[in-house]
Chains A and B, each alone.
Chain A
């Protein structure tokens, strides 16, 4: 089973998904991420799905779950680099990822997190 690496950049954790995820790796990723957020005290999580071409409802739910979980641990989540086909699929599946913030690419995702941090919640 491939484990998805979690990169730390300042107080932001970056997850770049490069392979087709199996259900097992998704569950492992969620656990790893929760541990990492707590141990590093990260304030933001960026999930980069530029390389993801196919999604199903499970992956869609994963994104929402990670966002919910991070929020509990006081970290903002931004999903970046979603492809048009993926966005259309998620909409057709009826998953609008209500609580998840999105940005066009990693750069804008980081900028979004910086902006969120400068304005007090």
Chain B
């Protein structure tokens, strides 16, 4: 049986070599892809088969390149895979004209090979995509956590968007580091822009506050939205003696008062001076 398989395979290789003039244009017609790209794949495939081994590294390299290029041009991964599958149809016509039973048997083996390669283009498309998504997530993580100085000795972290454990972790480390770097004794974590909080995130926030306290700084949480307050109470999360304020302004006023800075009351009436009178 192995001998048979070998014979069949050699027959296919023979067909690929001798029938290139017919198969390649036919494939081009079926796949509707640039003939240069197809010729490159065809040659890489033929070379790989002729060296006798099952080493398809070169073919895969060419296919990965093609897959990326086509993805950039806006083709779907299915289009690319279908273009690769087109070679089966083109070769089958050559097998049929040949009429040899060995060639037919070999076609089954070849078909499986092409299936693998087609799936590989799909895989490389997905891998490329995945990499982009990972990169973006990382960039987002760096972008989204600024620690701002509100006053001498008072820093704030305005959190916007969705909080997950990874992001809260980054916020926590960055805030604590800023406390050390700036000698700030008061920190405000403002979560006005946060739409949802779950137990894990709340846990991380609490840990941040306790860690800041351990370092000798005081942490205030501000801007808890009504829904979030409701969620926190419903989840049974205990905030204990952690100070929470309704808005960032309240938190700042509290921190200023704690650091012993007096804030004068704003003038209640506005004084307008007419230029003519001066």
Please name the residue on chain B nearest to A83 by beta carbon: B180
Cβ of A15 < 8 Å from any Cβ of B? no
- Are B183 and A91 closer than 8 Å at their CB atoms? no
A4 at the interface (CB under 8 A from B): no
Instruction: Let me know if B185 and A87 touch, CB within 8 A.
Output: no
- Residues of B in contact (CB 8 Å), total 18
Cross-interface CB contact of A82 among B172, B185, B214, cutoff 8 Å: B214
Distance of A96 Cα from B215 Cα, bound (Å): 11
**Roughly how many angstroms separate A103 CA and B216 CA in the complex, as a whole number?**
4
Tell me whether B214 and A96 are in contact (CB under 8 A): yes
B89 → chain A closest CB, angstroms: 61
Task: Evaluate contact between B214 and A104: CB separation under 8 angstroms.
Answer: no
Residues of A in contact with B, size category: 20 to 34
Known: A84-B176, A87-B176. A105 touches B211 (CB 8 A): no
Residue of B nearest to A95 (CB): B214
13 A–B contacts from the bound complex (CB under 8 Å): A82-B216, A84-B176, A84-B211, A88-B211, A90-B214, A91-B210, A91-B214, A96-B214, A103-B216, A104-B185, A104-B216, A105-B183, A108-B185
Contacts of A102 in B (CB 8 A): 213-216
A80 within 8 A of B: yes
What B residues does A62 contact at CB under 8 A? none
A-B contacts at CB below 8 angstroms, number: 58
Least Cβ–Cβ distance between A77 and chain B, in angstroms: 12
Q: Which of B100-139 contact A (CB under 8 A)?
A: none
Top-9 shortest CB links A-B: A84-B176, A102-B216, A103-B216, A87-B211, A87-B214, A104-B216, A82-B215, A91-B211, A91-B207
Contact with B along A56-97 (1 / 0, CB 8 A): 000000000000000000000011101110111011100011
Is there contact, CB below 8 Å, between B185 and A97? no
A104 in contact with B217 given A84-B211, A91-B207 (CB within 8 Å):
yes
